[in-house]
Amino acid sequence: LVLVVDFGAQYAQLIARRVREARVYSEIVPHTLPVEEMLAKKPKAIILSGGPSSVYAEGAPSIDTSLFEADLPVFGMCYGFQLMAQGLGGTVDNNGYREYGRTPVTISEPGTLLADMPVAHNVWMSHGDSVSQAPEGFTVLASTEGTPVAAFENVERGFAGVQWHPEVLHSDHGQRVLEHFLWNIAGCRKTWTIGNIAEEQIARIKEQIGETGRAICGLSGGVDSAVAAAIVTKAIGDRLTCVYVDHGLMRKDETEQIERDFVAATGAKLVVVDAEEQFLTALAGVSEPEAKRKIIGREFIRTFEKAQADIIAAAPEGTTVGFLVQGTLYPDVVESGHGSGTSTIKSHHNVGGLPEDMEFELVEPLRTLFKDEVRAVGAQLGLPQEIVKRQPFPGPGLGIRIIGEVTKDRLDLLREADAIAREELTKSGLDDTIWQMPVVLLADVRSVGVQGDGRTYGHPIVLRPVTSEDAMTADWARLPYELLERISTRITNEVKDVNRVTVDITSKPPGTIEWE
């Protein structure tokens, strides 16, 4: 275990991921956690992340220097590097230089940390203060124009640090710097592999649920719930029941992928609730986006709770269904304040004959994992590629990609257009270069066209391909013209009532990714 101490920059999660890419398990802890509690976790090494402040700023986060007396390897990056320098007796000051972005660095003495890399290369910097003097016993390894001490190490004590951000892709050789620290200075072993992630989780869940416990899992069609369900099925077999609410707003073939391929791959016990009519009836006549979202959310909870009640009622005599499986990921855990994982939630039942509040204990097999690890575990458990590689898809489904009232005919039309766009994107090999590509039907708009010998008066389709890191911001993806041409030609030829295809070239902000 390597602990990444988070000083409030957005980089801690990225560092934790890079450590795991070096096959060493990592967790993030807030810098406010007392040093004794950090040590109690028995880490093999500590990494101090970057942070937003100057070490001299009022209220700047600091680190208890007893950390440096604990006989534990420590690596500092950026702000963490300056904290180390300051805490160990070096000097940090503001020499008037600021460095932001790609910066050339020169290695004067590679030492262990910077071994086997070009003497001059580019790294990613973001700092105002600099270390002007390394602490005693440290070797200075590199400098930049504005930073006399840009990297240092003291291999006997297991200490090292760099002024730059080795975790970002813009830093050349960044991953190797991190690996030199982890493997060659801290002596961490490479034990974190996808194979043992799945096995460890299966063992842990067996223990949590016990010999007789029963669980329920809601499947959305997305990768997280599918992988969570696959892991729990491996642990407790048919004592897990998966529930999939088919609200009729899914894309083409998605329901079949769950019904047929997911079950074939995992052997999971699945209940599919066909609720299409119920949802379409509830949505009839509604075109305001928020109203649509509320209706879909409400109907979803109703349907899921009804299915849940049926499962509880049908459970064998003497057993209780006490567990609810959720696909919570590590970033959610970190962002919600490093919860301990023992929380329970209440599910409110408005279905006759059941207690008003049922208490479930949560089972969260993915709560230590990042998204890319979840995909890798899913692939290893044999889930179909279509599920494992699926791009984000909103809970309300195509309901919020039809601008206007949602009807069965419009859904079928959008499903055809979306399937063509996805098929062509996949064929072009560009799936991995974009974040997602919503396909939107402007159902209340019509325009004049000409097809064959006749005039048409049809609907436009909007393609919304975006690139993004986390969906908070996004840019429109510059897809090749040839690909856009193929999608456009096929959609207008093959989808009845569509006579125009357009591309949305708005970033987020000001636009959101979805149109509603």
Report, in Å, the least distance between residue 394 CB and ligand XMP.
3
Which residues in the 3-32 window bind ligand XMP by CB under 6 A?
A: none
Q: Which is nearer to ligand XMP, 158 or 438 (CB)?
A: 438
State which amino acid sits at residue 214: R
Report, in Å, the least distance between residue 399 CB and ligand XMP.
9
Quote the tokens at residue 278: 């119920």
Q: Which is nearer to ligand XMP, 21 or 514 (CB)?
A: 514
Q: Which of 394, 458, 460, 465 binds ligand XMP (CB under 6 A)?
A: 394
Determine if 245 is a binding residue for ligand XMP (CB under 6 A): no
**Residue pair 22/179 in contact by the 8 Å Cβ criterion:** yes
State the DSSP code for 52: S
Q: Which of 392, 408, 412, 489 binds ligand XMP (CB under 6 A)?
A: 392
Quote the tokens at residue 427: 């064929």
Q: Is-cis flag, bond preceding 460, omega within 30?
A: no
Q: Which is nearer to ligand XMP, 205 or 417 (CB)?
A: 417
Which residues in the 457-476 window bind ligand XMP by CB under 6 A?
A: 471
DSSP 367-392: TT--HHHHHHHHHHTT--HHHHTPPP
Determine if 291 is a binding residue for ligand XMP (CB under 6 A): no
Dihedrals phi, psi of 491, to nearest 5 degrees: -65, -45
**Residue pair 171/122 in contact by the 8 Å Cβ criterion:** yes
Q: Which is nearer to ligand XMP, 107 or 228 (CB)?
A: 228
How many residues sit in the footprint of ligand XMP (CB under 6 A)? 10
Determine the interface stretch with ligand XMP among 85-93, 276-284, 389-397, 441-449 (rule: CB under 6 A): 389-397
Determine the interface stretch with ligand XMP among 168-176, 207-215, 394-402, 490-498 (rule: CB under 6 A): 394-402
Residue of 78, 188, 217, 242 with catalytic role: 78
**Residue pair 307/273 in contact by the 8 Å Cβ criterion:** yes
Q: Which residues contact 467 (CB under 8 A, 6 or more apart)?
A: 433, 434, 435, 474, 475, 476, 477
State which amino acid sits at residue 277: E
Q: Which of 396, 399, 458, 460 binds ligand XMP (CB under 6 A)?
A: 396
Quote the tokens at residue 460: 């436009």
Report, in Å, the least distance between residue 472 CB and ligand XMP.
8
Determine if 204 is a binding residue for ligand XMP (CB under 6 A): no
Report, in Å, the least distance between residue 118 CB and ligand XMP.
39
Determine if 404 is a binding residue for ligand XMP (CB under 6 A): no
How far apart (Å, rounded) are the C-alpha atoms in residues 60 and 165? 19
How far apart (Å, rounded) are the C-alpha atoms in residues 99 and 145? 9
Report, in Å, the least distance between residue 456 CB and ligand XMP.
30
Report, in Å, the least distance between residue 86 CB and ligand XMP.
40
Host H or E run for residue 86: helix 79-87
Q: 87 a known binding residue?
A: no
Q: Which of 82, 154, 308, 436 binds ligand XMP (CB under 6 A)?
A: 436
Determine if 513 is a binding residue for ligand XMP (CB under 6 A): yes
Residue 211: half-sphere exposure toward Cβ, Cα within 13 Å: 0
Quote the tokens at residue 419: 């399937």
Q: Quick one: CA torsion of 165, 167, 170, 173, rounded to 10 degrees?
A: 100
Burial class (CB in 10 A: 0-12, 13-18, 19+), 65: middle
Active site residue 242: no
Strand 214-219 to 240-246 pairing:
parallel
Q: 226 a known binding residue?
A: yes
Residue of 27, 99, 153, 167 with catalytic role: 167
Q: 220 a known binding residue?
A: yes
Active site residue 207: no
Active site residue 165: yes
Question: Residue 343 CB: number of other CB atoms within 10 A?
Answer: 10
Q: Which is nearer to ligand XMP, 46 or 249 (CB)?
A: 249
Determine if 225 is a binding residue for ligand XMP (CB under 6 A): no
Determine if 118 is a binding residue for ligand XMP (CB under 6 A): no
**Residue pair 71/116 in contact by the 8 Å Cβ criterion:** no
Q: Which is nearer to ligand XMP, 8 or 395 (CB)?
A: 395
Q: Phi-psi bin for 210: left (phi > 0), alpha (psi -120 to 50), beta?
A: left
Determine if 83 is a binding residue for ligand XMP (CB under 6 A): no
Give the catalytic positions in this structure: 78, 165, 167
Q: Specify binding-site residues for ATP.
A: 220-226
In the complex, the residues that contact ligand XMP under the rule CB under 6 A are 392, 394-396, 436, 471, 508, 512-514
